Amino acid sequence: MTAPPLPRPRGGLSASVVSALAGDGTTALGTPPATADPYGDDLQLALYVLYELHYRGFEGVPEELEWDPGLLALRRSLERPFLAALRRDVPPGTNAEEALDALLVEPVGHDDSSVSHHLQRDGELWQLQEYAALRSLYHLKEADPHAWVIPRLRGRAKAAMVAVEFDEFGAGRPDEIHARLYADLMGDLGLDTTYGRYLDRAPAPVLATVNLMSLFGLHRALRGALVGHFATVEVTSSPGSRRMAAAMRRTGAGAAAQRFYDEHVEADAVHEQVVRRDVVGGLLADEPHLEADIAFGVHATGLLEDRLGAHVLKAWRQQHTALRTVAPDDTE
């Protein structure tokens, strides 16, 4: 399994991380300045790179750096402002069921804030290609971040979580792993299926959506938020996937591109019920004090997805790319 190359830095924070991983040592690593944008390119890329050490790592980077104390300390100093910004900006509400119920309310008429509605109705093939490239940062490791929570659950919640994850990982069939199906989708769209290929092209709102999963998954204290995130994904996946499958058919994207979303329409309609009844319900039965954390996970997921959708649709309405444009010497 080939690890991706280190990305291009986007500022001082990400430059220090990339430099340290490239072999320049960790002694110069500091803490982010108070003025650093918690949602910005520099902080989000630095955090993404540090999290990626817990997944596939990077080409030429020693695997033992996953647990380097200096890198872990820096990661923590980046997580704090990100998490604080999320807690500041999420909508109010601590009732988990109410938060999940709100996700089921479909808009009346056209939803001009939804990427999947736009793609179903008006999307062009180049927009589907861009969206697939952006989402590849997660979907080529689909379900991996959520697996971190399994040892932190017990009983009904754990059994149900494992059952859903089993489906995500192909139910024992390697060619049915959802990350594999997504690579097939990318192939149909003429995209490079190499893991991490589009990291340099991914803007901060994309990095933030992936970082959120790693943040929640790697901290036992945030297990409730991770379950909230997972529930949000499953509740919204089936209707969103139905729209995406229609978009793929309308534009002639290809059979594999259609199949990825068709698979999620069917599977996630079942998963939604299991997650709400047994993962969320089981966790609340065991640890009712985590309800506010579950609701926070739901709201934080929605916040970052809305930010990503706004970024993408603003670019497309101006007939611009939603991907970052990277010059040969781009370090921002």
Tell whether 34 and 102 lie within a shared domain.
Answer: no
pLDDT of residue 270: 78
pLDDT digits (tens, 9 = 90+) for 31-65: 788 889 999 999 999 999 999 999 999 999 999 99
Tell whether 31 and 153 lie within a shared domain.
Answer: no
Question: What percent of the chain is modeled with pLDDT above 90?
Answer: 84
pLDDT of residue 331: 46
- Rg of the chain over Cα atoms, rounded to whole angstroms, equals 19
Q: How many CB atoms lie within 10 A of CB 302?
A: 18
pLDDT of residue 264: 85
Q: Which structure tokens are listed for 209?
A: 């959506």
pLDDT digits (tens, 9 = 90+) for 221-269: 999 999 999 999 999 888 899 999 999 999 999 999 999 999 888 776 7
Q: Which of 41, 67, 88 is the last residue of a domain?
A: 88
In a domain, 22, yes or no: yes
What predicted TM-score, i.e. pTM, was given to this entire model? Answer: 0.94
pLDDT of residue 154: 97
Residue 275 main-chain phi, psi, to 5 deg: -65, -45
CATH number, domain containing residue 258: 1.20.910.10
Is the pLDDT assigned to residue 25 strictly greater than 60?
Answer: no
- Give the residue from 3, 24, 88, 74 showing the smallest Cα distance to 45: 74
In whole numbers, what is the pLDDT of the chain averaged over residues?
92
Is residue 191 within 8 Å of residue 317, measured between CB atoms?
no
pLDDT digits (tens, 9 = 90+) for 157-181: 999 999 999 999 999 999 999 999 9
- The amino acid that residue 134 corresponds to is L
- Give the residue from 263, 276, 239, 215 showing the smallest Cα distance to 117: 239
Tell whether 100 and 208 lie within a shared domain.
Answer: yes
Is the pLDDT assigned to residue 328 strictly greater than 70?
Answer: no
Is the pLDDT assigned to residue 23 strictly greater than 90?
Answer: no
What's the domain count of the chain?
Answer: 2
Q: How confident is the model at residue 107 (pLDDT cuts 50, 70, 90)?
A: low
Q: Tell me which residue has tokens 């971040």.
A: 145
In a domain, 324, yes or no: no
User: Max Cα separation, the chain?
Assistant: 56
CA angle 186, 124, 106 (to 5 degrees): 90
pLDDT of residue 332: 44
In a domain, 5, yes or no: no
- Give the residue from 209, 257, 263 showing the smallest Cα distance to 238: 263
Is the pLDDT assigned to residue 106 strictly greater than 60?
Answer: yes
Burial class of residue 137 (count of CB atoms within 10 Å of its CB; 0-12, 13-18, 19+): buried
pLDDT digits (tens, 9 = 90+) for 57-103: 999 999 999 999 999 999 999 999 999 999 999 988 899 999 999 98
pLDDT of residue 1: 64
Tell whether 27 and 118 lie within a shared domain.
Answer: no
Domain that holds residue 82: 12-88
Average pLDDT over residues 283-291: 98
Q: How confident is the model at residue 116 (pLDDT cuts 50, 70, 90)?
A: very high
Is the pLDDT assigned to residue 330 strictly greater than 60?
Answer: no
Tell whether 131 and 259 lie within a shared domain.
Answer: yes
